[in-house]
Structure 1
Amino acid sequence: MAPAAAVLSNYEEEEIVRPVADFSPSLWGDRFHSFSLDNQVAGKYAQEIETLKEQTRSMLMSAASGTTTTTLTLAEKLNLIDIVERLGIAYHFEKQIDDMLDQIYNTDPNFEGLEYNDLCILSLQFRLLRQHGYNISPKILSRFRDANGKFKESLSDDVKGLLNLYEASHVRTHGEDILEEALAFSTAHLESAAPHLKSPLSKQVTHALEQSLHKSIPRVETRYFISIYEEEELKNDILLRFAKLDFNVLQMLNKQELSEVSRWWKDLDFVTTLPYARDRAVECYFWTVGVYSEPQYSQARVMLAMTIAMISIVDDTFDAYGIVKELEVYTDAIQRWDISQINRLPDYMKISYKALLDLYNDYEKELSNDGRSSVVHYAKERMKEIVRNYFVEAKWFIEGYMPPVSEYLSNALATSTYYLLTTTSYLGMKCANKEDIEWLDKNPKILEANVTLCRVIDDIATYEVEKSRG
């Protein structure tokens, strides 16, 4: 790359035409800046939660061991697990749930019992086992097909069974035709039945058809299911109360985290100093709750939200304001990752450059308390990678170059941000060690496949908007 002075001197006196995008302002204002936790309320909730947690733990352990006064049926065990998970409290009982599922699976690994002639039971067990890592063949659903290989029309009267079959069909993998057929069959019959059902089943069916459980955002789904479960005649009051309190406590934690992110963002004052960029800190934080919602990942959510917000500034600098000569210097400065490079940059770029380096310095200081500061290096390298690829895309646009799909994807997988965000999501997770992040750094197939999917879906969803902005 040419020295900065040589690059900048050619246009310092020129009138510069910038590709400014017209982003809408933030909807949120200062709403989340000043949240203050009510410690008295939080303490009261915490005490009751501990009591309810132990009652629920005993419930699950008894169900697994068969030591309850009345031995639970298979259907009751599966429903208990399903309800605990849908209510958003399963993270308290991972071992107990794993033990229950292991016991259920080992009791009849070939699904030969008469209870598996029940569509509801078999579909629910299939989904739960798959979601917990069991390699279950979908061929077990063949018993519900007729002589012509079609799902039996008599199943259309079993709405709960169809609903569970529908949810089970969403954990399919490539080539599992029977689950593709199950999806089409269950969807058609649920759509037909929905207008004639009573609440809460009608609400569940309508909601599921709009958004399957497997593809939902966990905390949003939890809030929805709490309301649905409250309408159930046979609801468990202990579980319901526990779920409500736990949701409220986690929500208070989320507000604290969002307040921290919002104050950091306000202090940076990008809204004033970089008006060309998006003001989306709240949305960036919300995205992280979809990645991990459990309380032990509080630090991880904050760090990931700040990274997403920061990369939005860098992205908009490339897409919505910078010209190619400036971007060349900016790209090189970020590759060097040295605050002394700041003097090479135009004034507006100095703001985001310093903020970027400061952010990662803060990460290193924060993680040094756990002896994990060295992992920040991998996140920095991902940031450098995405900036290099942003610059390639900027040159393509300026030159009017239309790359072949293969060339585009080789560059665009990084600019999707998912390599960067996946690595960053590990930073604040104390359970993630250096070896885990080194594995990610090699772009394993599972990561590359997911990044490719996200890239293509993003391009499809944003094509019209991106085209209108140039």
Structure 2
Amino acid sequence: MENHPPATTPISTKDANFENARRSVTYHPSVWGDYFLTHASDFSEFSTGEVEELQKLKEEVRKLFVTTPDDPLHKFELIDAIQRLGVAYHFDNEIEIYLKSIYDTNHLECIGKEDNDLHMVALRFRLLRQQGYDLSSDVFNKFIDHEGKFKKSLINDNNIKGILSLYEASYFGIQGEEILDEALEFSSSHLKSMNQIRMIKTLATQINEALKTPILKTCVRLGARKFMTIYQDDDSHNEILLKFAKLDFNYVQKIHQKELHDVTRWWKALDFKNKLPFVRDRVVESFFWAVSDYFEPQYHLSRKFLTKAIAMITAVDDIYDNYGSMDDLELFTNAVERWDYSCLNYMSTYMGHCYKALLDFYAEIEDENVKIGISYPVHYAKEEMKNIIKGYYEEAKWFYNNYIPTMEEYMKVAFVTGGPSMLTTASLAGMGNLISKEDFDWVVSGSLMTWAAVKFGRLMNDMAGHGADPKFSAVDCYMKENGASKEEAFAEFEKQLKKALKDINQECLQPTAVPITVLMRIRNFARVIELTYKPGDDGYGNPKTATKGFVQCLFIEPVPI
């Protein structure tokens, strides 16, 4: 492909080749349609008796936490179960107080017989790192032999839980922690080669799930649904905790069903199906993304804003990628910069529908924030939407000119079009006074964590869509710039993805630049990206993939009590 510099002046796109190329994508239709509207009557609310039982069980679990013997391993396993069952948000204070006391005691010097127990050491390390405590990875030195490798004596049938815990802990490493790189290689290779026939069934299931999706990469809500089955089959499970987790899951599911009904009604009222038939209908999948970022009941407004932001930017993305002429795209880009309803007077009908829906959505964000007396959230949300659309326009000019940028050029624009800043500001705008102006400043400042999340999202997306999407991607840029094959590009990107994950881990360790509530939005964004996009498998573009099953188990099927 001949290389030309990108255009810097307005471009007319009456050229037939351009029009054919930009209209060549046919998206899979929604698999849900009006399901969450027509089946609203199926989603009944919890009865007063069920709510009272839920509250009673919650207090019993709280007592369980307090009365568990002061044995670190038992306490750690209880905390781990509470977190993996998706109910830790009820006990944040209790968990924080206990883990802080463990960190304060252990981070300078680890002593005691339990420190020779690999399961104990690895579980403690993971729980503390998850909580943001920078416990040194040197705690694993005692398990290393004179050649710098993990001791072969660790590999035995009595230490399977220890190897599994080491595997899960190894994902929480940061740059320079070679011992955790070695831990991952050691543990994963042995977990894959173990004879599962002799294992307890629950342990074998846990290993298989871990190898597919380690805890660090697990979306909390989906992980909880899967772990309930594993935990239930474990003879040592606590019946009170399990029943509470199931009841709480179903209670929260009903909240999500009502929210999904409401956003589906909003999307249907926009009538994009008729007015913009060429854009993807992914409002249900957008809500799934929002729930993967915030599932807790108190974040209902953030979920609504994030769902609408994803659905809207999907429509805009489809216009820029596959439908709009460059004349229209320039007009739309300038109109978004002005952010004024009067621009509708100069737009074509299809663009006017999208533009008005966009402005109406951000007016909704502004109205909600005015109610509590703040104005800064909508300012940041608007500016990031303006930036992402300007980025889309730059990408459209590259495509029209058959210009494949360098990786540096591509990733500079991808920092904006990758979405974390725009989506994060839109969702944080639903958290009111919990998020300060300084927190928003950090989100848009180009931090290490945001860059890592962008790289994670962009590379995963491009690897998933390569070969199916007519526009070029990071894969094409890397191949052209380095004279590399697709396989070589993918291998390089896998290295960059691992580095990005470590950078995200680093940013989540105390002291943090912003509250963990903000950091978790970006961490969860990376989690749902990895869940949705696999090489050659775009779970957002094609909702008939695993995403359909995710929606079904989270929003349709309750957990059997």
Which TM-score bucket, shorter chain as reference? over 0.9
Partner of 2:62: 57
- Give the CA deviation at 1:11: 8.4
Q: Which moved further from structure 2: 41-50 or 238-247?
A: 41-50
Report whether the alignment pairs 1:354 with 2:360.
Answer: no
- Give the CA deviation at 1:276: 0.9
CA distance in 1, matches of 2:397, 2:147: 58
Q: 1:194 to 1:384 in 2, by over 3 A?
A: farther
1:433-469 per-residue CA deviation (whole Å, 9 max, x = no partner) reads 3232123232223222322332223222222222379
Gaps of 5+ in 1: 1-6, 64-70
Partner of 1:29: 33
Report whether the alignment pairs 1:213 with 2:212.
Answer: no
Partner of 1:4: none
Any conservation in 2 of the 1:386–1:420 contact (CA below 8 Å)? yes
CA distance in 1, matches of 2:145, 2:162: 17
Partner of 1:231: 233
Letter in 1 for 2:84: R
Report whether the alignment pairs 1:401 with 2:393.
Answer: no
Q: Residue 304 of structure 1 aligns to a residue in which SS?
A: helix
Match of 1:434 among 434, 437, 456: 437
Match of 2:244 among 242, 253, 271: 242
Letter in 1 for 2:53: E
Letter in 1 for 2:49: K
Letter in 2 for 1:367: N
- Give the CA deviation at 1:400: 1.3
Any conservation in 2 of the 1:299–1:429 contact (CA below 8 Å)? yes
Q: Which moved further from structure 2: 208-217 or 433-442?
A: 433-442
Partner of 2:496: none
Partner of 2:176: 175
Letter in 2 for 1:412: A
Any conservation in 2 of the 1:194–1:205 contact (CA below 8 Å)? no
Partner of 2:531: none
Q: Residue 17 of structure 1 aligns to a residue in which SS?
A: helix
Partner of 1:133: 132
Letter in 1 for 2:415: L
Partner of 1:90: 88
Report whether the alignment pairs 1:450 with 2:449.
Answer: no
Any conservation in 1 of the 2:13–2:326 contact (CA below 8 Å)? no
- Count of residues paired in the alignment: 455
Q: 1:442 to 1:16 in 2, by over 3 A?
A: closer
Q: Which moved further from structure 2: 421-430 or 445-454?
A: 445-454
Partner of 2:338: 336
- Give the CA deviation at 1:94: 0.6
- Give the CA deviation at 1:369: 1.9
Letter in 2 for 1:31: Y
What percent of counterpart residues are identical? 41
Letter in 2 for 1:161: G
Partner of 1:461: 464
1:264-319 per-residue CA deviation (whole Å, 9 max, x = no partner) reads 11111101111111111111110111111111111101110001000011110100
Structure with max Cα Rg = 1
Partner of 1:159: 160
CA distance in 2, matches of 1:104, 1:378: 39
**Runs of 4+ in structure 1 over 4 Å off:** none
Report whether the alignment pairs 1:316 with 2:314.
Answer: no
Q: 1:333 to 1:108 in 2, by over 3 A?
A: closer
CA distance in 2, matches of 1:203, 1:11: 55
Q: Residue 469 of structure 2 aligns to a residue in which SS?
A: helix
Q: Which moved further from structure 2: 86-95 or 367-376?
A: 367-376
Partner of 1:114: 113
Partner of 1:144: 143
CA distance in 2, matches of 1:189, 1:25: 43
Q: Residue 301 of structure 1 aligns to a residue in which SS?
A: helix
CA distance in 1, matches of 2:94, 2:472: 52
Q: Kindly report the root-mean-square deviation, in angstroms, between the aligned alpha carbons of the 2 structures.
A: 2.1
Letter in 2 for 1:59: L
Q: Residue 390 of structure 1 aligns to a residue in which SS?
A: helix
Any conservation in 2 of the 1:138–1:178 contact (CA below 8 Å)? yes
Any conservation in 2 of the 1:151–1:182 contact (CA below 8 Å)? yes
Match of 1:267 among 266, 269, 274: 269
Gaps of 5+ in 2: 1-9, 474-561
TM-score (norm 1): 0.92
- Give the CA deviation at 1:194: 4.9
Q: 1:277 to 1:234 in 2, by over 3 A?
A: same
TM-score (norm 2): 0.78
CA distance in 2, matches of 1:190, 1:101: 28
- Give the CA deviation at 1:380: 0.6
Match of 2:19 among 11, 17, 20: 17
